[in-house]
Chains A and B, each alone.
Chain A
Amino acid sequence: MLNTETNIAAPDEFYEALLAIHQDLTPDQARAVDARLILLLSNHIGDMAVLRQAMARARQGIEPAGHDATIAARA
């Protein structure tokens, strides 16, 4: 079960650290950092059910406005 109650003892300190690792980065560099962070944390959590809940909450309310590079195939 995804814990959405306060679980970090010092929230302000965490938030500051999170911003600090992105300081002076271009959007591409920041995306690289975020991707690594998500992978590291996801592996640490390990529980697929919790991960799926977190993914669903993260995606909530966002309507796709882009398009993936695949094409419908018919043969």
Chain B
Amino acid sequence: MHIDYQLLRFEYQRSPDQSAAQVAHHPVVVVGAGPVGLATAIDLAQSGLRVLLLDDDRCLSHGSRAICFAKRTLEIFDRLGCGDRMVEKGVTWNLGRVFHRDEPVYSFDLLPEGGHHRPAFINLQQYYVEGFLLDRARSLPNIEIRWGNKVAALDAREDGVELTVETPEGDYRILADYVVAADGARSPIRRAMGLESKGRTFRDRFLIADVRMKADFPAERWFWFDPPFHPNQSVLLHSQPDGVWRIDFQLGWDADPEEEKRPERVIPRVRALLGRDAEFELEWVSVYTFSCLRMERFRHGRVIFAGDAAHGVSPFGARGANSGIQDAENLAWKLALVLRGAAPDSLLDSYDAERVAAADENILNSTRSTDFITPKNESSRAFRDAVLELAKDCAFARRMVNSGRLSLPSTYRASPLNTPDSDVFDAPMVPGAPALDAPLGDDWLLRRLGGGFTLLHFGASAPTMPETVPAIRVVNLSTEEDAGGVAAARYDARPGTTYLLRPDQHVCARWRRFDPQDVRAALDRATGRA
């Protein structure tokens, strides 16, 4: 059955909290039912917590908006129980092509090696991503979603946060131990707390025209600099499910955003690309400018910011929604441990340290791409044009062509949760890096790992864990299971090699030999107890 997730409307329902004699208490309140809020709520609920999710609206995303979801995000969706649906519906792609005028100058394969369960990217409209996450959230009995519930005020105290929530039936109050603010780029919570997100805006405007048509372009990312059909500007073409195509036209700073949205302006631009006789329908049109910015800190006591509320990037590189999902995953396990009393509150500071560093990495990459696509002075334009011209016959210049460096998960190199290597490894999975996938017969390594702290041991049999080490899952990989040796190669493993993985599947320690004392110390460190 086909569901149009854009048309779904959710009912506001009165909650018993609204007439409670005493202000109701919730361990964690997530504000904003976008991709980041939904992912956070699901992750928290999967670890057994009771979650309240508030959204001021009564519907999902209008328009395709974020469409590129990266491999790491899909792996997170797998852990959240909805990866298969995303990948089945999405358009899988690995290849990007860049053209200058009408000549191909550069192409890149984002996943040149095999042996990964998930592709480099899928394209999927944001309303499907939200819809599938919502379906999953609704299947979890410990998530309560309240639509049409807007946080009007909050009082963040040392012992908890009091929220004033506005509804069609008037205001009510609740108390929360922690609040996750996933309430978007304009974050009302950020504003209510007198906080700011700062950075810079680029003087350029872009037109997104999502069109529905039958077309035989391949499922690849095509990017033109200065094409004959849209001179002096860039154009991006990308495929989405249901025969929808994303076309992104650079317009320049002087374009009138209201004027450019009118179909009589948009249709000729699309025809110039597709040909005069092309048949298509406009699905969604939007004109935007963009900024790279972030909050100075993402954690403010018991209120923690995630996704667009905390940071923003330009869309070239697909680093907005993807980094927001990684925020959610980084935060959820820490919050769950703290709320269960298994880790001190200070563990949440590591969310701030790790995700601020990740945001800086995303902003850096996004700014570099934007400086290439939107030259900010005459010199940067001259160098950009020179790179594109040289790229025709000079290999070095092709590597400088930057139409967006696409989202990769961050390695938390400087994280206080890492145990530095004491043994020698020749593999990129340093402490702080996300675990790499590998095929295990019909199964996949990341699927086997799942969530929770996990000890990945390479050897004939699993080591016995003494009682002095808190119960963690042990996954043992024998050479029979890792028949192709891909896992051993990616982890530079020999018999006895042991990796300790966090619940978000990032490495926090690794050794050549299993030693329960080392594991215990590393676990203490990774949970903020050391």
The finding on whether chains A and B are genuine partners in a shared complex, rather than unrelated, reads yes
A interface with B by C-beta (< 8 Å): 28, 31-32, 34-36, 38-40, 43, 66, 68-75
Query: Does A40 contact B312, Cβ atoms closer than 8 Å?
Result: no
Could you say which residues of chain B place their CB within 8 Å of the CB of A38? 383, 386
Query: Does B385 contact A70, Cβ atoms closer than 8 Å?
Result: no
Q: Which of A36, A69, A75 contacts B291 (CB 8 A)?
A: A75
| A5 CB to nearest chain B CB (Å) | 27
Query: Does A40 contact B253, Cβ atoms closer than 8 Å?
Result: no
Query: Does A36 contact B390, Cβ atoms closer than 8 Å?
Result: yes
Task: Answer yes or no: B232 CB below 8 A from chain A CBs.
Answer: no
| B289 CB to nearest chain A CB (Å) | 9
| A26 CB to nearest chain B CB (Å) | 12
Task: Answer yes or no: B293 CB below 8 A from chain A CBs.
Answer: yes
Q: In the complex, what distance in Å separates the CA atom of A69 from the CA atom of B198? A: 17
Query: Does A71 contact B200, Cβ atoms closer than 8 Å?
Result: yes
Query: Does B203 contact A71, Cβ atoms closer than 8 Å?
Result: yes
Could you say which residues of chain A place their CB within 8 Å of the CB of B293? 73-75
Task: Answer yes or no: B394 CB below 8 A from chain A CBs.
Answer: yes
Q: In the complex, what distance in Å separates the CA atom of A43 from the CA atom of B202? A: 29
Query: Does A69 contact B203, Cβ atoms closer than 8 Å?
Result: yes
With A69-B253, A71-B201, A73-B293 as contacts: A31 and B196 at CB distance below 8 Å: no
Q: In the complex, what distance in Å separates the CA atom of A69 from the CA atom of B230? A: 22
Task: Answer yes or no: B387 CB below 8 A from chain A CBs.
Answer: yes
From A46, which residue of chain B is reached at the shortest CB distance?
A: B396
Could you say which residues of chain A place their CB within 8 Å of the CB of B387? 39
Query: Does A70 contact B386, Cβ atoms closer than 8 Å?
Result: no
Question: DSSP class of B's interface residues: helix, strand, loop or mixed?
Answer: mixed
Query: Does B376 contact A68, Cβ atoms closer than 8 Å?
Result: yes
Task: Answer yes or no: B389 CB below 8 A from chain A CBs.
Answer: yes
Interface residue ranges of B79-136 to A (CB < 8 Å) = none
Q: In the complex, what distance in Å separates the CA atom of A72 from the CA atom of B203? A: 11
Enumerate 30 A-B pairs (CB-CB under 8 Å) in ascending A order: A32-B382, A32-B386, A32-B389, A34-B382, A35-B382, A35-B385, A36-B386, A38-B383, A38-B386, A40-B394, A43-B394, A66-B377, A68-B376, A68-B377, A69-B203, A69-B376, A69-B377, A70-B203, A70-B376, A71-B200, A72-B198, A72-B200, A73-B197, A73-B198, A73-B199, A73-B292, A74-B197, A75-B185, A75-B196, A75-B293
Query: Does A70 contact B202, Cβ atoms closer than 8 Å?
Result: yes
Could you say which residues of chain B place their CB within 8 Å of the CB of A43? 394, 396-397
| A22 CB to nearest chain B CB (Å) | 14
Query: Does A74 contact B203, Cβ atoms closer than 8 Å?
Result: no
- 10 smallest A-B Cβ distances: which pairs? A35-B386, A73-B291, A69-B203, A43-B396, A73-B201, A35-B382, A68-B376, A71-B201, A36-B386, A70-B200
Number of B positions contacting A (CB below 8 A): 32
With A36-B386, A36-B389, A39-B390 as contacts: A75 and B197 at CB distance below 8 Å: yes
Could you say which residues of chain A place their CB within 8 Å of the CB of B201? 70-73
Q: In the complex, what distance in Å separates the CA atom of A28 from the CA atom of B379? A: 10
Task: Answer yes or no: B62 CB below 8 A from chain A CBs.
Answer: no
Residue from the set B201, B253, B397 with the largest chain A CB neighbour count within 10 Å? B201
Task: Answer yes or no: B258 CB below 8 A from chain A CBs.
Answer: no
From B203, which residue of chain A is reached at the shortest CB distance?
A: A69
From A35, which residue of chain B is reached at the shortest CB distance?
A: B386
Q: In the complex, what distance in Å separates the CA atom of A25 from the CA atom of B486? A: 57
From B204, which residue of chain A is reached at the shortest CB distance?
A: A69
| B334 CB to nearest chain A CB (Å) | 26
Could you say which residues of chain A place their CB within 8 Å of the CB of B382? 28, 31-32, 34-35
From B185, which residue of chain A is reached at the shortest CB distance?
A: A75
Could you say which residues of chain B place their CB within 8 Å of the CB of A70? 200-203, 376
Q: In the complex, what distance in Å separates the CA atom of A35 from the CA atom of B387? A: 8
Task: Answer yes or no: B186 CB below 8 A from chain A CBs.
Answer: yes
Residue from the set A34, A36, A69, A73 with the largest chain B CB neighbour count within 10 Å? A73
Residue from the set B187, B291, B312 with the largest chain A CB neighbour count within 10 Å? B291
Query: Does B203 contact A35, Cβ atoms closer than 8 Å?
Result: no
Task: Answer yes or no: B277 CB below 8 A from chain A CBs.
Answer: no
